[in-house]
Structure 1
Amino acid sequence: MSKWTDQLPEAARNYIGDRRVDEVECVIGDIAGVARGKAMPAGKFAHQGNYFLPNSIFLQTITGEWADNPFDAFTEPDMILEPDFTTATAAPWTADVTLQVIHDAKDQQGNLVPFAPRNVLRRIMDLYAAQGWTPVVAPEMEFFLTARNIDPNQPVIPPMGRSGRRAAGKQAYSLSAIDEYGKVIDDIYDFAEAQGLEIDGILQEGGAGQIELNLAHGDPIRLADDVFFFKRMIREAALRHDCFATFMAKPIAGEPGSAMHIHTSVVDSKTGKNIFSGKKGEETEAFLHFIAGMQNHLTGAIALLAPYVNSYRRYVPDFAAPINLEWGRDNRTTGLRIPISSPAGRRVENRLPGMDCNPYLGIAATLACGYLGLMEKKNPRPEFAGSAYIDSDDIPVNLGDALDLLEEDKALCEVMGPEFIAVYDSVKRNEYKEFLQVISPWEREHLLLNV
């Protein structure tokens, strides 16, 4: 093995075995969480050390357009991308031996680029570290398997199962339902093993062809990396079996949306003890302060947790999605749920993020709100009892309103980083402007001849 392969994680070395690495994909997640970068022969990668990409990749919208640069003229200076070898993992769906390596973005002076999403999460982690705290998160991933949709004018429909019938909704937790597309699940397990990604469990969700994949708790940056890798891998597994995997928040009308619930606790960096639990296992003031931070700042953070116009179709009553920022113990109708746990495992589940959010930004925004709560030391609203599917002003109804609320939350903007917020706002307002120029089938059906 050459020197650079000695730095690889065990799973990557096991995947290579005694074979020769053919190609290395040098990747970085953009604002949307799309993998950007370069693929190069492994021999060239071994001698290069780093490479360059223009900083404009963070100004590209989901449609491929370019948002205005909020800082200077659109000169597209190069960033220096440095490999993080701890992230190296297989791309097991390729024909040859290919590795993926996430890179960190730095400017030409060696400083971390402040609007790179992975660097935004690192910034939040540093704020916790300065207080002697270490956040621990556990994301849940929900997604749909669908029939191939090659005409965007046609609605998305469920996939065909092995029985020859299309997947049915309202089959939550059914083992028979998930067996309908067992071959896709088998490939997900096989790919995950090859990549060294740990799956805590897979289950059938309430939507037709909807799956939930749970990840074990751990370091926020590593788990954001895992979600980033999982999204690409799941899409590849689905394509092998003539279907699509989608992480849209609401891909099918009349079905539930897909969330990325984020469970969060905070431990003392020296002792490893959960600061949400006292010596006798009781809930602490820090626990309540964390919840208050979520209630006071998540309204501003919705633009990060629900980043597209489609995201807001998920926030409707009676579709297993939260529509407010109430909190409750073991209450799945509240936006902030406190799961049953031991004192050591006491945590807050943020049920607001959609699966369409960038995992780095979804986790960063969640932690940022909790951090502000710990610093502000306010108490939350009283615990909500009963069904929380009630009218609320907590959740904005569209992306434009959400961006205005983000801009108004000065404390959250400062914690997330003003440079990042400026870039994010520019990209998202460009996308929203593009959407508003599209005339929908509903408008043509009901307005063309009636108004």
Structure 2
Amino acid sequence: MPRYTTSWISDLPEPFLDYLGERRLEEVEAIIPDTVGMSRGKAMPSHKFKPDETFFLPISLFYQTVSGEYVDMEIEDQWLEKDVVLRPDMSTASAAPWADDPTLQVICDMETREGEPLGVSPRNVLKRVLGLYADKGWKPVVAPELEFYLTKPNTDPNEPIEPPLGRTGRKGASRQAYSMVAVDEYGDVIDTIYDYAEAQGLEIDTVIQEGGAGQIEINLLHGDPLKQADHVFYFKRTIREAALKNGVFATFMAKPMRDEPGSAMHIHQSIVDTAGRNIFSKEDGSETDAFRHFIGGSQHYLMHVVPMLAPYVNSFRRFNAEGMSAPTNLEWGMDNRTTGLRVPNSKPGARRVENRVIGIDTNPYLAIAASLACGYLGMLNRIEPREIALHEVYESENNLPQGLAAALELFDEEHELRDVLGREFCQLYSDIKHAEHDEYKREISPWERQHLLLNA
């Protein structure tokens, strides 16, 4: 029998106990997803951790840009850096199988010291949206698709990112979508991902080669949005660690290479009632008003939350590249991959709406929350969608904003969504994104040095 030194260890999920085996648990990581979607928290020896313990971190961890710069905002006594509470959610307990010693990671909920959910916590933003659905007797179901690139280690930011060498010793070639040979090129990395996922109890639906050189897609199963966001959060760390173990990088940049397609995080969305019936389909299999209104709300409101779906300057390079498969619109169509909102071919019980606009560089909690919030408001306000797109859509009167600055203008002017997502969060998120954009505008790129230094 395993040598459990404390009783709570025996209550951990079966995949973790299988991973632990006869070994002694050495370390526990109490983690939270930050605004970017990266893990932050505290690591401690296992004997220091108790499931009912409260831990503390300064709220200022949410006041940083992706580069780590702190942002001055109109927050009263901002730099007192008051502590907020971390409460372990033991349903998320999972192995960290890349660690040298047996290690447990646990996602924590964040609260104020008065016991209220912390409004700026991304996980709480998603919980807030799911609570509004629950009040109506609805339960969203989502399935994320994760696209990412494996690359050669890039240690000089001034050098272009390149595909890695595969088992043949050759660089990956692009335009090999769905090729099993291309997947096999990186078999060692994928095998490690499978091993790590199994140790964590993370389920994978399918793995395919995408259209870019070294670009992989992992599809997850349909499930509860919070659980699936937790899984994406864990998977991103898992994939990075599996790549590093095999001497390559994994990147979740939306557009890491100039002449290769970008990487998305498509989200399939459906809604069930308290009896588990899909409210997008009638008993005779036809579409419901709720289905149309969910699409209508997505078309009407998603334009105003693009910074939550495409959070960086680089995100928009994915949209702006011609012939690279990323939709630039919010039209909808049946089994039409040129529209931002696609209704996949399915039986009535599985009728769903796929949001194809979301980039893989997003925080999964925020992207899922934003997408569901737009559909929720559409159903609440009974918004009818535009006419279905029956042909290819490359230009539309309702194209997405072409850059982060334009997207932030739309985000700042929309107030109905702020009531759904939380006004405190929306203001903080806007301030952070404006600061990141200002920081980017001060940067001098290699292109400018290459073409302007001696020619301008």
TM-score normalised over the length of structure 1: 0.98
Cα deviation for residue 7 of structure 1 reads 3.6
Q: Distance in 2 between matches of 1:248 and 1:377?
A: 36
| 2:108 paired residue among 98, 103, 111 | 103
2:168 paired with 1:155: no
Aligned to 1:89: 94
Would you say the 8 A contact 1:323–1:392 is kept in 2?
Answer: no
Letter in 2 for 1:49: E
Deviations 1:98-150 (A, max 9, x none): 01000011011000100100000000000000000000000000000000000
Q: Deviations over 1:397-433 (max 9, x none)?
A: 1111111111111111211100000111111111111
Partner in structure 2 of residue 133 of structure 1: 138
- For 1:339 and 1:214, the matched residues in 2 are separated by 15
Pairing partner for 2:368 from 343, 363, 367: 363
TM-score (norm 2): 0.97
Aligned partners of 1:24 and 1:100 also within 8 Å: yes
Conserved 8 A contact 2:269-2:353: yes
Gaps of 5+ in 1: none
Deviates more, 1:61-70 or 1:328-337: 61-70
Q: Secondary structure at the match of 1:193?
A: helix
Query: Cα RMSD over matched residues?
Result: 1.1
Partner amino acid for 1:309?
A: V
Q: 1:48 Cα deviation (Å)?
A: 7.1
1:223-249 CA-to-partner distances (Å, cap 9, x unmatched) read 000000000010000001110000000
After the TM superposition, which of the residue ranges 7-16 and 425-434 deviates more from structure 2? 7-16
Shift, 1:393, TM fit = 4.0
Residue pairs, 1:5-404, within 5 angstroms: 5-46=9-50, 49-73=53-77, 74-268=79-273, 270-316=274-320, 317-404=322-409
Deviation at 1:69, TM superposition (A): 3.5
Flag as ranges the 4+ runs of structure 1 deviating above 4 A: none
State the secondary structure of the residue aligned to 1:46. Answer: coil
Instruction: Report the Cα distance in structure 2 between the residues aligned to 1:164 and 1:379, rounded to whole angstroms.
Output: 54
Deviates more, 1:136-145 or 1:59-68: 59-68
Asked if the contact 2:51/2:88 (under 8 Å) is kept, the reply is no
* Matched AA of 1:10: E
- Residue 50 of structure 1: how far off its partner (Å): 1.7
Residue 263 of structure 1 aligns to a residue whose secondary structure is strand
Q: Report the Cα offset of residue 391 of structure 1.
A: 4.5
Q: Which residue of 2 aligns with 1:409?
A: 414
Q: Is the 8 A contact 1:299 1:405 kept in 2?
A: yes
SS in 2 for 1:80: strand
CA contact (8 A) 2:96 2:103 kept: yes
The CA distance in 2 between the partners of 1:160 and 1:216, in whole Å, is: 30
> Percentage identity across aligned positions?
56
Distance 1:131 1:48, change over 3 A: closer
In the alignment, residue 134 of structure 1 is paired with which amino acid?
K
SS of structure 2 residue aligned to 1:309 = coil
Question: Structure 2: which 5+ runs fail to align?
Answer: none
Instruction: Measure how far apart 1:47 and its partner are.
Output: 7.7
Kept in 2, the 8 Å contact 1:339–1:348? The answer is yes
